[in-house]
């Protein structure tokens, strides 16, 4: 029972430094969040010791009576909060969830339609070297050059031409809501299954602030660690008719023993997601992203934001006409203590490792407690950092970032515990 600082001082030091980094900087990676202590408690628990291949009540190992309770709670809460017939809470990640769905409902060689990676889709939606692109025939759809939005008429045209077996709606970098009913109508017209990957916006759906894909889709996948604010992992929701195939594609089709400590943490996160405080946090998340986008666009230099704003938890800065590229912009924000990721924008003239965009998200800062006026200040800081004034303003911008971080302390009890 020796503490990690004695057993492995090098890793203990990594933990200390990472806690310090999260506390001192402003986290604006759109796919990240801060889990509450209750989630850390479940995830760092003795449940990590347990093998539980199978499903609650039908395991291939003895001693599963307690993990069964945790997994059933996670299943019941996922079904309740999203109004789904069936939930599988075992996928280790979002990518695993998506791959399991393909494994359950498709045969290699089948055609899938998904939003192209270069236009905001996820790599599991058909990127060439991802398993999705290697096993299946991919018919990508894109956003429009003029509007940066998906045109459902174009999606319908591609579907009519390519007759996909499955259409995927969902994104990693798209600042607007999708029209799930229109996707359903197209899928029905061409006889395709509809899968919605709500990894990014699941928290907004849970809070009732974004239309739910569940009534429209055959299958809905999600991660738990983005807006939903839980442990790094995935969930699959589906109609009853697909339940058996989905379960057997996850286990034994794709995974072995489920991570019951993570599943318990998912249950905790889903309980929290049903609370009024969670809804209030998601409201601040969206309002915050809108405030940041507005400050960027209203800056004297007029920084371009894709689609002219956002309906969700992120804004996409468009640097295609700027001398500054995505890498330089990311580095500048890093220098003053704001963490974001550079991101290709549609029709990006720069290479994928450089890009002409930044994806700026507000879930983690909303969890930290930031209010509307704080997000406006964050928007002003980012706007100045992306202009030629940056070099002269660096010290002042860093101070303003630190002032916000100090105003909204994070995991204070963990620093106190580490100092003992
Ligand atoms: N689906 C979408 C839309 C995502 O944005 C992501 C992650 O970025 C994933 C799936 C994959 O999740 P994970 O990183 O947990 O595999």
Ligand 1 centroid to 95 CA: how many Å? 6
What's the confidence (pLDDT) of residue 300? 87
The answer to whether the predicted template modeling score (pTM) of the entire model surpasses 0.95 is yes
Q: Is 120 annotated as a binding residue?
A: no
Active-site pick, 32, 51, 271, 402: 51
Active-site pick, 162, 165, 176, 226: 226
Please give the average per-residue pLDDT across 128-136, as a whole number: 95
pLDDT at 418 > cutoff 80: no
Please give the average per-residue pLDDT across 5-10, as a whole number: 96
pLDDT at 419 > cutoff 90: no
Contact 234, 223 (CB under 8 A): yes
Q: For this structure, is 332 an active site residue?
A: no
Counting ligand 1 atoms within 8 A of each CB, the residue from 100, 124, 313 with the most, and so the one to mutate, is 124
**ipTM passes above 0.95:** yes
The Cα–Cα gap between 122 and 226 comes to 14
Q: Is 123 annotated as a binding residue?
A: yes
What's the confidence (pLDDT) of residue 415? 86
Please give the average per-residue pLDDT across 59-69, as a whole number: 98
- Confidence band of 223 (pLDDT split at 50, 70, 90): very high
pLDDT at 225 > cutoff 70: yes
Report whether the peptide linkage leading into residue 315 is cis, meaning its omega lies within 30 degrees of zero.
no
Q: For this structure, is 244 an active site residue?
A: no
The Cα–Cα gap between 374 and 367 comes to 13
Instruction: Retrieve residue 310's tokens.
Output: 């956002």
360 to 4, 146, 344, 364: CA distances (angstroms): 35, 21, 13, 11
Ligand 1 centroid to 233 CA: how many Å? 9
- Confidence band of 250 (pLDDT split at 50, 70, 90): very high
Sign of CA dihedral 164, 167, 173, 176: positive
Q: For this structure, is 53 an active site residue?
A: yes
Q: Is 309 annotated as a binding residue?
A: no
Query: What residues are in contact with ligand 1 under a 6 Å CB criterion?
Result: 31, 93-95, 98, 122, 124, 170-172, 197, 199-200, 223, 234
Ligand 1 centroid to 351 CA: how many Å? 22
Smallest CA separation from ligand 1 atom 11, residue = 94
251 to 17, 67, 101: CA distances (angstroms): 37, 16, 12
Please give the average per-residue pLDDT across 242-265, as a whole number: 98
Active-site pick, 71, 142, 197, 348: 197
- Confidence band of 338 (pLDDT split at 50, 70, 90): very high
What's the confidence (pLDDT) of residue 56? 98
pLDDT at 420 > cutoff 80: no
**Position in ligand 1 atom list of the atom nearest CA 92:** 15
What's the whole-number average pLDDT of the chain?
97
**pLDDT tens per residue, range 272-312:** 999 999 999 999 999 999 999 999 999 988 899 999 999 99
Q: Which string of b and e fits 145-174 if b means at least 16 CB within 10 Å?
A: eeebebebeebbebbeebebbbbbbbbbbb
Q: Is 240 annotated as a binding residue?
A: yes
What's the confidence (pLDDT) of residue 301? 87
**pLDDT tens per residue, range 351-374:** 999 999 999 999 999 999 999 999
Contact 326, 354 (CB under 8 A): yes
Q: Is 117 annotated as a binding residue?
A: yes
Q: For this structure, is 320 an active site residue?
A: no
Q: For this structure, is 223 an active site residue?
A: yes
Active-site pick, 111, 223, 362, 384: 223
**pLDDT tens per residue, range 153-210:** 999 999 999 999 999 999 999 999 999 999 999 999 999 999 999 999 999 999 999 9
């Amino acid at each position: 029972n020796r503490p990690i600082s004695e057993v492995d001082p090098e890793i203990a030091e990594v933990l200390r430094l990472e806690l310090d980094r999260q506390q001192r900087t402003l986290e604006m990676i759109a796919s990240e969040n801060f889990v509450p202590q209750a989630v850390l408690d479940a995830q760092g628990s003795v449940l990590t010791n347990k093998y539980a291949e199978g499903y609650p009540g039908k395991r291939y190992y003895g001693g599963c009576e307690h993990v069964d309770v945790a997994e059933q709670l996670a299943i019941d809460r996922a079904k309740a909060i999203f109004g789904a017939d069936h939930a599988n809470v075992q996928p280790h990640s979002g990518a695993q969830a998506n791959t399991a769905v393909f494994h359950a409902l498709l045969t290699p060689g089948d055609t899938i339609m998904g939003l192209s990676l270069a236009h905001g889709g996820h790599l599991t939606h058909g990127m060439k070297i991802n398993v999705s692109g290697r096993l299946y025939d991919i018919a990508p759809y894109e956003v429009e050059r003029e509007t940066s939005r998906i045109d459902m008429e174009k999606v319908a045209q591609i579907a009519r031409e390519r007759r996909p077996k499955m259409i995927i709606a969902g994104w990693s970098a798209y600042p607007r809501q999708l029209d799930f009913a229109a996707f359903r109508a197209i899928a029905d017209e061409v006889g395709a299954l509809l899968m919605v990957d709500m990894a990014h916006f699941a928290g907004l759906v849970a809070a009732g602030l974004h239309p739910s894909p569940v009534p429209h889709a055959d299958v809905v996948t999600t991660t738990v660690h983005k807006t939903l604010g839980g442990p790094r992992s995935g969930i699959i929701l589906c109609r009853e008719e697909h339940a058996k195939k989905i379960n057997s594609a996850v286990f034994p089709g794709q995974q072995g023993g489920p991570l019951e400590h993570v599943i318990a943490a998912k249950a905790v996160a889903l309980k929290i997601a049903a609370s009024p405080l969670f809804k209030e946090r998601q409201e601040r998340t969206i309002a915050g992203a809108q405030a940041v986008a507005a400050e960027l666009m209203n800056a004297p230099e007029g920084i371009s934001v894709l689609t002219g704003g956002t309906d969700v938890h992120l804004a996409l800065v468009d640097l295609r006409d700027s001398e500054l590229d995505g890498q330089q912009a990311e580095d500048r924000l890093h220098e003053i203590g704001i963490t974001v990721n550079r991101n290709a924008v549609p029709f990006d003239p720069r290479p994928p490792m450089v890009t002409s965009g930044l994806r700026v998200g507000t879930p983690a800062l909303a969890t930290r407690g930031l209010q509307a006026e704080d997000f406006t200040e964050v928007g002003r800081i980012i706007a100045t950092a992306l202009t030629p004034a940056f070099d002269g303003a660096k010290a002042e911008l860093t101070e303003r970032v630190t002032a916000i971080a100090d105003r909204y302390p994070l995991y204070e009890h963990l620093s106190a515990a580490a100092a003992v």
